[in-house]
């Protein structure tokens, strides 16, 4: 019989919770890697927007391999995790840690203002962020 229909295997809900926990842990690791990468790139004056695609693929892959899910909820979970990684990565990369924690809502307004800047490089960077979220969404479930 196929492994998907094995009666002793985990159920859909159990696999979802397993993917939720593993995705959370992977998000923390990917956030730290992203912060390290972005700090190195900005120290030399480069913007490394293509790294977002790797983050989106990685979080989607982790959720797919741990959850083996076929429902859209697995894809939504990956997209939410990817969005949080990108948002908090930008928050802590552009704003000092002490200020970001002390004035959290003010820091969010600063980041949202950065996203709404009508600069061409910002628009390209936002396109890479959106593509990363889409990549996480598409990669996260078994189709």
CA angle in degrees (0–180, nearest 5) for 86-39-54 = 45
pLDDT tens string 71-97 = 899 999 999 999 999 888 888 877 877
Contact by Cβ (8 Å): 36, 80 = no
What does the block give as tokens for 115?
């996203």
pLDDT tens string 8-45 = 567 778 888 999 999 999 999 999 998 888 777 777 76
pLDDT at 82: 94
| Mean pLDDT score, 103-117 | 83
CA distance 72 to 77: 9
Task: Tell which wins on pLDDT, 65 or 43.
Answer: 65
φ, ψ (nearest 5 deg) of residue 135: -65, -45
Task: Tell which wins on pLDDT, 7 or 48.
Answer: 48
* Total Cβ atoms within 10 A of residue 24: 13
Q: Check whether 139 has a pLDDT greater than 90.
A: yes
DSSP per residue, 55-110: HHHHHHHHHHHHH---SHHHHHHHHHHHHHHHHHHHHHHHS-HHHHHHTHHHHHHH
pLDDT at 84: 93
pLDDT at 2: 52
Whole-prediction pTM value? 0.82
Contact by Cβ (8 Å): 88, 57 = no
């Amino acid at each position: 019989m196929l492994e998907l229909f094995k009666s002793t295997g985990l159920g859909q809900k159990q696999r979802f919770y397993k993917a939720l926990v593993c995705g959370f842990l992977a998000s923390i690791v990917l956030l730290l890697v992203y912060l390290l990468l972005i700090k190195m790139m900005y120290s030399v004056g480069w913007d490394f927007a293509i790294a977002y695609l790797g983050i989106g693929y990685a979080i989607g892959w982790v959720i797919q391999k741990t959850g083996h899910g076929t429902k859209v909820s697995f894809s939504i979970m990956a997209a939410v995790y990817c969005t949080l990684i990108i948002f908090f990565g930008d928050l802590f990369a552009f704003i000092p840690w002490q200020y970001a924690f002390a004035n959290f809502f003010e820091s969010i307004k600063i980041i949202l203002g950065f996203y709404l800047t009508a600069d061409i490089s910002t628009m390209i960077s936002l396109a890479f962020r959106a593509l990363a979220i889409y990549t996480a969404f598409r990669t996260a479930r078994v189709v």
